[in-house]
Structure 1
Amino acid sequence: MAERSHYSLYIVQYTLTPSATMTELAAQLLESSQAPKIIQQVQAILHEEQNRRRAFYEWMDEDMKTEFINGEIVVHSPALDKHNLVVMHLGTLLNVFVSAHNLGAVRVEKALVELSRNSYEPDICYFGPEKAASIAPDSLYYPAPDLVVEVLSESKKKNDREVKFEDYAAHGVAEYWIIDPTRQTVETFSIDADTEAYAATGTFRVSQSVSSAVLSEFAIPVKSLFDNTANVMALRALLS
């Protein structure tokens, strides 16, 4: 079974165009005489992944920061302070703004977002009013957010820029921010209607402000994510 799984993944990875839409990928696959065999093998792989995912849910606990990505369990080590500072600063600003205007819900780190194949714990996520209404006090799993923010670190930046980048877009997460605490930049992305993938909407530095496409009136200085004094000033501005 293991050899068949690797073989099927090899076929899919190297014969399909990575930038194609879902419809185009399906059309390319169906052109192959091996399509039924490939589909059968992929289904077997995904079935086995779901078994491992159920085992992952039974194994994990609320004290762990862990994710299930493409069939593998990823356990995160404690983050550096510069990472934690950004999460705290932006999480506070977003939560205050959303709460003050009754715009939904914000969750920081310990929200397990369950997508069709993978389970993630984004650094910060925002749910609009409709999705927020579906979140019960005892909820363990969350739907695809409307905005996801990931703060880069050495251990997870590859997944943040590759697997999650594609997966969030494929599941309709309308906006994605990637924050680099070392370079002190914020990169923003929104789904392009034609490609169904993320398109870059800007890279913002400490001398600039950044705004959200999903939360149209949410605009903050980038410096407020990295500096305590600037964060307090931004918080006051949001409340004024």
Structure 2
Amino acid sequence: MPGAAVHHPQPRSGLTYADYLKIDDGQRYELIEGELVLVPSPNFRHQHLAAAVEALLREHVKKHNLGLVLDAPFDVVPEENVVLQPDVLYLSRERYHLLTGDCLKGAPDLVVEVLSPSTGRRDRLEKSRLYLRFGVKEYWVVDPAAQTVEVFSNSQSGWLLAGSYGPEDTIVSPLLPGLNVPGEEIFSLPEGLEL
């Protein structure tokens, strides 16, 4: 199936971040509990949405000197057999010690995943569970097809839906007080562009 995530034939138990770093075939991968997973190139809509969210988050974070915002591809390595590349991440200043020259050795404060047909199930299930387990405080799921942003907060009982937003709404974040993101600014295409 074109564009589908392809699982590399490796034993589930075995690969580590050191093994992952040796891969040099021009492809993008994530390492999910020792299993290498090919990450297909995102389409235009996915990239446009990720860039819009990143720009709006970055503006707020920079204005209030809260930390930094990064986008994929950037390795998040919460443990040696897990390497994730969230579409967008926020790291608070208090957690800068987790940054190395190559990766983030731990969990960011906030993760944004933009769903695509080939990665949506993994983003909602496997990666969501890993983000929760490793202590990500807030998880945004951006669904291009439904034109929604779901904001989840980490709690002792799992992810709690803090809000679900569309283009007509203002997205707020329990983690980042004062953040008010107009949904229209995320979902609208540049003037004159129709896809």
TM-score range, shorter chain: 0.7 to 0.9
Residue 162 of structure 2 contacts residue 174 of structure 2 at CA under 8 Å; is this kept in 1? no
- TM-superposed deviation, 1:60: 4.4
Count of residue pairs brought into register by the alignment: 180
**Residues of 1 paired with 2:137 and 2:128: CA distance?**
12
- TM-superposed deviation, 1:140: 3.0
- TM-superposed deviation, 1:135: 2.7
**Residues of 2 paired with 1:59 and 1:164: CA distance?**
21
Structure 2 counterpart of 1:217: 178
User: Does 1:158 pair with 2:124?
Assistant: no
Q: Secondary structure at the match of 1:115?
A: strand
Structure 2 segments unaligned to the other structure (5+ residues): 1-10
User: Does 1:115 pair with 2:78?
Assistant: yes
Structure 1 counterpart of 2:95: 131
Q: CA RMSD for the aligned pairs? A: 2.2
Residue 75 of structure 2 contacts residue 102 of structure 2 at CA under 8 Å; is this kept in 1? no
Name the aligned partner's letter for residue 217 of structure 1.
G
**Residues of 1 paired with 2:105 and 2:52: CA distance?**
23
Larger radius of gyration: 1
Q: TM-score scaled to structure 2, two decimals?
A: 0.83
Structure 2 counterpart of 1:202: 163
Name the aligned partner's letter for residue 72 of structure 2.
E
Structure 2 counterpart of 1:67: 30
User: Does 1:96 pair with 2:36?
Assistant: no
- TM-superposed deviation, 1:71: 2.2
Residue 111 of structure 1 contacts residue 142 of structure 1 at CA under 8 Å; is this kept in 2? no
- Relative to 1, partners in 2 of residues 1:157 and 1:71: Cα closer, same or farther, differing over 3 Å? same
**Residues of 2 paired with 1:64 and 1:103: CA distance?**
33
Deviations 1:192-232 (A, max 9, x none): 23x2x1111221111111111111111111111112569xx
1:143 to 94, 106, 125: 106
Residue 210 of structure 1 contacts residue 222 of structure 1 at CA under 8 Å; is this kept in 2? yes
Residue 144 of structure 1 contacts residue 172 of structure 1 at CA under 8 Å; is this kept in 2? yes
1:56 to 3, 13, 20: 20
From the two aligned structures, give the one with the greater strand fraction.
2
**Residues of 2 paired with 1:82 and 1:180: CA distance?**
10
Q: Secondary structure at the match of 2:127?
A: helix
- TM-superposed deviation, 1:64: 4.1
Name the aligned partner's letter for residue 121 of structure 2.
K
Residue 98 of structure 2 contacts residue 104 of structure 2 at CA under 8 Å; is this kept in 1? no
Residue 65 of structure 1 contacts residue 121 of structure 1 at CA under 8 Å; is this kept in 2? no
Structure 1 counterpart of 2:3: none
**Residues of 2 paired with 1:176 and 1:65: CA distance?**
22
Residue 57 of structure 2 contacts residue 69 of structure 2 at CA under 8 Å; is this kept in 1? yes
